[in-house]
Amino acid sequence: MKIIGIIPARYESTRLPGKPLIKICGKPMIQHVWENAGKSKLIDKLVVATDNKLIYETVESFGGEAVLTSKKHKSGTDRIGEAAKKYKSDIVVNIQGDEPFISYKNIDAAIKQLLEDKKLNVSTLGYQIKDKEEINNPNVVKIVVDRNNNALYFSRSAVPYDRDRAGKIKYIKHIGLYVYRTKFLYEFIKLKQTEHEIAEKLEQLRVLDNGVKVKVVITKIDSKSIDTLDDLISLNSTLRI
């Protein structure tokens, strides 16, 4: 079973341009992602997929491997789909380029779902929200799962809605790592965007809208993504940089 990890990284982020190259503790963000993902016990090969020559050169400079992809891709999944075709694999792991401290234990936990369930095509990660401010933050995606931890819906809104405000709802934050069977990944990137996906700006909804199960691994290890300048300032404050 050949497993490849691909980190999509584009320069032209609308909310934080040049994000992969921003320095954290003296290293570009993409290097932190690479080094943490590289600790995985299950990934056989790790690659950065980018549309930017400077990001490509930066990855090569710290000993990583990168491939150049089209600038026309609308999502990270489309980008890893192009990159994956350059390699032979059975499973592709989409590792977000804006989560500098992603835990390799989380990565491996998500991969194990596909290794153990041969019928499963997609898995991802969830974390029970402890910071109440994240519940109503649209940059923090929430997941509703069934009793078997299969995703029912992903949303930027606070779902499920606590109508009686009893405070008993356990909100689950989505950690945006995806594990795909390679064959399904190629099918997925050919599917048209759906109304839910377009409205929420969440590509994983395209999977659910097409009736495909997404297994959610509930982890006890959080992972902070850097989406905005405020996220970066908060991280630097935490690290006391």
Sign of CA dihedral 4, 226, 105, 121: negative
pLDDT in tens, 160-209: 998 887 778 999 999 999 999 999 999 999 999 999 999 999 999 999 99
Residue 160, in any domain of the structure: no
Q: Could you tell me the CATH number of the domain that includes residue 27?
A: 3.90.550.10
Burial of 110 per CB tally in 10 Å (0-12, 13-18, 19+): buried
How much is the pLDDT for 233? 60
Residue 157, in any domain of the structure: no
Residue 79, in any domain of the structure: yes
Residue 152, in any domain of the structure: no
Residue 153, in any domain of the structure: no
Please give the Cα distance from 238 to 241 (Å, whole number). 8
Name the nearest CA neighbour of 99 among 195, 183, 20, 2: 20
Q: Which residue has the tokens 């400077």?
A: 54
Burial of 163 per CB tally in 10 Å (0-12, 13-18, 19+): exposed
Please give the Cα distance from 74 to 77 (Å, whole number). 8
Bridge partners of 156, per DSSP, are none
How much is the pLDDT for 73? 86
This prediction has a pTM of 0.92
Bridge partners of 93, per DSSP, are 5, 179
Please give the Cα distance from 111 to 89 (Å, whole number). 13
DSSP 75: S
pLDDT in tens, 55-84: 999 999 999 999 999 888 888 899 999 999
Residue 236, in any domain of the structure: no
pLDDT in tens, 5-15: 999 998 877 66
| Domain count of the fold of the chain | 1
Residue 23, in any domain of the structure: yes
State the residue range of the domain holding 43: 3-125+174-218
Residue 59, in any domain of the structure: yes
Q: Is the pLDDT of residue 230 over 70?
A: no
Burial of 192 per CB tally in 10 Å (0-12, 13-18, 19+): exposed
Q: Is the pLDDT of residue 85 over 60?
A: yes
